[in-house]
Structure 1
Amino acid sequence: MIAKILAKGGASDIVGYVMREFHDKEKYTADTWRLIDSDGVFGDDYRRIVDSFDIGASLNKRISKPVGHISVSFDKADLPRLTDDFMVQLAKEYMERMGIKDTQYIIVRHLETSSPHFHIVYNRVNLHGKAIDESNNFDKSHKATKAIKLKYGLTFSPKKKLYEDAIGEMRAKIKAAMFRCKSWDEFRRRLAPAGITVEFYNDRDTGKPQGIRFSDGEFTFNGSKIDRAFSYRRLDKFFAKNAGIREAQPQRPIPISVTAKVKEAPVANVVENIIETGCQAIGGLFQVRPGYDPEEEAFIRAMKKKPKKTKGRSL
């Protein structure tokens, strides 16, 4: 059993991290994590829990980062014993030893890695509006985990195994933070609730960033040591590519132009066409049908043949 005291912050970021609110939902599905216990919050969904923490924090506005975050992990050998109920029991005993009491909290178990672990998210402002005493937290945490391991016979992991587990945990957290990430600043903000800090080291000649290191507070690794895709250059290109991708905008429908070809009528039928077209234009009130009156047709033909009048005096 190892407890890591992670960065303090706001409810939206930390609760969002443990409840996978900002992760790829296709990968981090509902069966990769679950809320196993809570107290003092209104519901079990992200928004209601954040609102609950914000209301609790308003009792003491002098605390700028009102939400605490602790990750507690276990050796794989203890997995058969680690039911949700047993994890909740261990979490409550750990919080009691740490002095985290009379306050809001949630306990979220993560299941996407082979390393069993849970996260404690608590309000640093207790129900009476006072700040939780966090003096000597790291020393208290070390003593609390040791006492709990001895009490319940949990596995003490060797240093090498801790080292290998740390690499695996960091790899998963970094990959999650990379999802649709577009800048180094955004990357750092996403990793902070996961307890990972980012450090650059520069080229001696140019002074420009050359490499990157990741640290969880206990172990520090070069990016390429964790995964080749985590080198400074590859990450930089990855963020630049994401920043250049624009969401596809819906295309406007292209108007379809239809041109109807009309068969030209012989000159002899021009008058009939004019009459028919005019009738259709006024809504079909007058329609020209086949079979005109014979006398009317004779009159039209006569009009066509009538010679034009000549200009000038009459003789």
Structure 2
Amino acid sequence: MALDKAKGRDLSRWNFSHTRQVENIKFLIVMIAKILAKGAAADIVGYVMREFHDKEQFTPDTWRVIDSDGILGNDYRRIVDSFDIGASLNKRISKPIGHIAVSFDKADLPRLTDEFMVQLAKEYMERMGIRDTQYLIVRHLETGSPHFHIVYNRVNLHGKAIDESNNFDKSRDATKAIKLKYGLTFSPKKKLYEDAIAEMKPKIQAAMYRCKSWDEFRRRLSPAGITVEFYNDRDTGKPQGIRFSDGEFTFNGSKIDRAFSYKRLDKFFAKNAGIKETQPQQTAPISVTAKVKESPVANIVESIIETGCQALGGLFQVGPGYDPEEEAFIHRMKKKPKKKKGRSL
């Protein structure tokens, strides 16, 4: 894990190809590659393919698969099954699916055809050492910032783990080399700050769709590379505010949109759940796995899928928010016991 030694921050999730100082204004070279959290295929493929988003808002014209390799089928379930079968070749890797988002300056949009994005993605993966493995490239179109997502299997076609050592340094060098090769645009820090807000807003809105708890909200944001933290009232110690972070920029919820304040989100989740009040809870990471038969990759992988893999289910389901026995006990304790009438002597 790459760390900023001065501040102890994990830098592996966000990196820039190069920086320079121009008249006291920091400029960053775009393209930008964000190495996001690793996980299960069901989570990450579901995010990039908008499987759990509001279908009325994220219509087919807001995203599209622009390239893939080693994937059988083009629908969500078959793609997840393909990744799970590939991952079964090395069961020692607990989070087998890698996820990288690559974005560009708006000025480069006229050049960024699907074909050119695929070319850039393949060159980036080659420089990162992501080769001989399954991958999926999905372009997102719902924001003004042109970008695509690379989803890849950390288990290669020979059952060996992809070498991800020094990923931050490799990604920095890769983006710098590609930028210089194709003459991509410089972008000022302030603009990136504004673009970060514009990019985070639709992701937060999508995670809110029919969401019923803070735990579910956090799990939905995780594949998007966004974390949630609360800050408490000094007097009461209760949560009074919320911050969102993409690994580089951190914003108060209301800075992104007034609807993202702690109080408004809390009421929104409570309304969806049909309860009076919700509270944030600390939760352990959730992993979703599929039971698949380990087998050689080529024709056997295809035959397993064709005969029908067991689909993963229950994604984003939230466990019960209360203990029924405890609630029944509290209810009984609140009842005032009836006094027994004594017999007269």
Are positions 1:194 and 2:236 aligned together? no
Residue 149 of structure 1 aligns to a residue whose secondary structure is helix
In structure 1, list runs of 5 or more residues that go unmatched: 246-315
Q: Percent identity?
A: 90
Q: Among residues 67, 82, 93, which one is paired with 2:123 in the alignment?
A: 93
1:29 aligned residue:
59
Are positions 1:170 and 2:200 aligned together? yes
Are positions 1:76 and 2:106 aligned together? yes
* Structure 1 runs (4+) greater than 4 angstroms displaced: none
2:152 aligned residue:
122
Count of residue pairs brought into register by the alignment: 245
**Aligned-residue offset at 1:43:** 1.1
TM-score calculated relative to the size of structure 1? 0.77
Name the larger-Rg structure.
1
Q: How far apart, in 2, do the equivalents of 1:188 and 1:124 lie?
A: 24
Deviation string, structure 1 residues 213-249 (Cα, Å, up to 9, x no partner): 111111111111111111111100000000018xxxx
**Aligned-residue offset at 1:139:** 1.7
2:334 aligned residue:
none
**Aligned-residue offset at 1:52:** 0.3
Residue 200 of structure 1 aligns to a residue whose secondary structure is strand
Q: 5 Å matches for 1:1-315?
A: 1-244=31-274
**Aligned-residue offset at 1:205:** 1.5
**Aligned-residue offset at 1:175:** 0.4
Q: How far apart, in 2, do the equivalents of 1:27 and 1:37 lie?
A: 23
**Aligned-residue offset at 1:157:** 1.0
Q: Residue type of the partner of 1:64?
A: S
In structure 2, list runs of 5 or more residues that go unmatched: 1-30, 276-345
Give the helix-richer structure, 1 or 2: 1
2:284 aligned residue:
none
Deviation string, structure 1 residues 126-147 (Cα, Å, up to 9, x no partner): 1111111111111211111111
Q: Once superposed, what is the RMSD of the aligned Cα atoms? A: 0.8
Q: Residue type of the partner of 1:72?
A: V
Residue 42 of structure 1 aligns to a residue whose secondary structure is coil
Residue 157 of structure 1 aligns to a residue whose secondary structure is strand
Deviation string, structure 1 residues 8-35 (Cα, Å, up to 9, x no partner): 1100010000000000001111111000
Question: Which structure is higher in RCO with an 8 Å CA cutoff and minimum separation 6?
Answer: 2
Q: How far apart, in 1, do the equivalents of 2:142 and 2:173 lie?
A: 28
Q: Residue type of the partner of 1:52?
A: S
Q: Residue type of the partner of 1:158?
A: P
Residue 8 of structure 1 aligns to a residue whose secondary structure is coil
